[in-house]
Structure 1
Amino acid sequence: MAHDPDSARAEAEEAQRERARAERARHEQGLGARLGSAVKEVVVVLAMALVLSFIVKTFLIQAFFIPSESMEDTLLVGDRVVVSKLSPTLVDVDRGDIVVFDDPGNWLDPAPEVNRGAALNAVRDALMFVGLLPDTSEGHLIKRVIGLPGDHVQCCDSEGRLLVNGTAIDEQVYLRPGAAESNQEFNITVPQGRVWVMGDNRGDSSDSRYHDPGGTGAEGSVPIDRIVGKAVVMVWPLDRIARLSDHDDVFADVPDPGDRAFGMAPRPTPSAR
């Protein structure tokens, strides 16, 4: 039988086109597989980063935004600080520490909600939840610890200085320049399991002094279990990055509250809190 050259050529061309289509399909399939694998890797990395950030924020450190003037000039409005959550769980809180704590009971006025729209609000809340954005500090306060459990804290001696367990302390190193130690007299004993806190800007700080109507320290002091952590470093703005000092030298001469001269029980050990 005679062979038709045109038919043979058409078959060859069709076979070539089929091979080309098969090659394109294999290439596209390979590209899709590589793209899918890359996407999976990115998702896994992001998920691990979010989980790690959440763990760090929950158990180790957390960033907070400073919303008020109560700690000036140590901390200014808009500053960001990093808080170590090892205190008070693993590391004891001490006099002079700057601590962030949950509102112990109506210290704060209700904060007005800032509505940026449902989508942006959800993104902001999610990023704060996992620790990728600093906490807005709503529901939290930041102050300096002045008295520990059992301490006798009093304002003031003849020179206007606070007395802690009968010893006058010189706070000028961290108080806002020109600020008096206190414009309100008090004479309290810090209950067990609690601390007495005050802001560095004493004239503009709604602290333990103003939330203790009974004048005994029972209501104005803050339960230790309400402390979120100790502020250790300021990270924003960049020109103010610095370690936050607890100024332990200020309290170096303060005796233990168990001293017989004060007739008080000794400070409890961490296991007794």
Structure 2
Amino acid sequence: MDTEAQHTERDRSSGEEERSRSARVSGADPESGRRDGGAGCAPPGVEPVPADGASAHASGGLTWRRTGLVGLVCMVFLLLFSHFVLQPFLVPSGSMEPTLQVGDRILVNKLAYRFGDQPRRGDVVVFDGTGSFVQEEPGGNPVTGALHDAAAALGLAEPDETDFVKRVVGTGGDRVVCCDKDGRISVNGVPVRETYVMLGDQPSGVPFDIVVPDGTLWVMGDHRSQSSDSRDHLGQPGGGMVPVDKVIGRADWIGWPFGRWSTVPDTDAFASVPAWTTGGHGAAHAAGPAAPREPGRG
């Protein structure tokens, strides 16, 4: 017997079995020496590595694209919602104190007057003052304007300089007079107790006697000494009247800051005011010369 040949054969067989065991553990093909990329052959606790890393990158890319698409859809939805239904507005001045404070973000209901309803006395409204409170001006950079309008629509920027928030005091046909012997405004001959006016303010430092034309509004701020409103435009074309079709919506809620989260308070100050039936529906007129602008109003 050739013992040396047997030992050599045994050693070769043992080495091949060892390599085979190692290949099975590591996932390699014992015949070709190549690794098997199958998930079932990966050692415990080790993620299988794909033969082509492109699939991993593609998955990550799809995730980012999906996130961007969802964000874009949400942005478009918010812009459409604010354009047609409910738009936040940033209150930039104290002309409506104490009802609205500087920095309040009010939510304007754009459906309030969409289906035949009209602004009523006492409503707090947001309107475009172009042509009534401010003169028509040529447009600026359209791209900058569009970006600003989008930010303002989301309540992230101040509204346009042509947008105002005021309280409706007179509607079409009303005769509004200031002031009676007790210093109160009267509407259609009925004195109005304006509890919403800023404490310490007079109803108006400017006397006036006007009839509101049909289709327009007479508006005033609650902080009368700091409000630039219909009184400031008595001697100008339009006489300070705001066309109803320029009303953007009714301010129904205060949405920010959270400490002031509430509805905009209603008022019953005009509950006893009747419709004007005995007066003419003429153009607005001021008592005497055009009223001067009160200093410090904004």
The normalised TM-score by structure 1 is: 0.77
Partner of 1:160: 183
CA-to-partner distance for each residue in 1:103-124, whole Å, 9 max, x for gaps? 2337469xxxxxxxxxxx8997
Q: Work out the CA distance in 1 between the residues paired with 2:36 and 2:96.
A: 75
Q: Is the 8 A contact 2:106 2:255 kept in 1?
A: yes
User: In 2, distance between residues paired with 1:40 and 1:74?
Assistant: 45
Shift of residue 203 of structure 1? 1.0
Provide the identity percentage. Answer: 36
The structure number with the bigger radius of gyration is: 2
Aligned to 1:187: 209
What RMSD over aligned residues (CA atoms) do the two structures have, in Å? 3.3
Distance 1:38 1:66, change over 3 A: same
Bigger fraction of residues in helix? 1
Deviation at 1:67, TM superposition (A): 1.1
Counterparts in 2 of 1:231-242, with a 5 A limit? 231-242=251-262
Contact 1:83–1:229, Cα closer than 8 Å, also in 2: yes
1:53-68 alignment, distance < 5 Å? 53-68=78-93
Counterpart-to-counterpart distance in 2, 1:107 and 1:123: 22
Corresponding residue number in structure 1 for 2:198: 176
- CA contact 2:96–2:221 (8 Å) conserved in 1: yes
Matched, 1:98 2:129: no
Which deviates more, 64-73 or 20-29? 20-29
Label 1:58 to 1:14 Cα distance change in 2 as closer, same or farther (>3 A).
farther
1:46 pairs with 71, 76, 89, which one? 71
Partner residue of 2:271 out of 245, 249, 252: 252
Structure 1 CA distance for aligned equivalents of residues 33 and 129 of structure 2: 77
TM-score by length of 2: 0.71
CA drift of 1:232 comes to 0.8
Q: How many residues align?
A: 242
Segments of 5+ residues of structure 2 without an aligned counterpart are 1-12, 14-18, 20-27, 40-47, 136-143, 283-298
Q: Which runs of 5+ in 1 are unaligned?
A: 110-120, 266-273
Change beyond 3 A, Cα 1:211–1:13:
farther
Of residues 219, 222, 231 in structure 1, which corresponds to 2:239? 219
Q: How far 1:53 sits from its partner (Å)?
A: 0.2
The code of the aligned residue for 1:73 comes to P
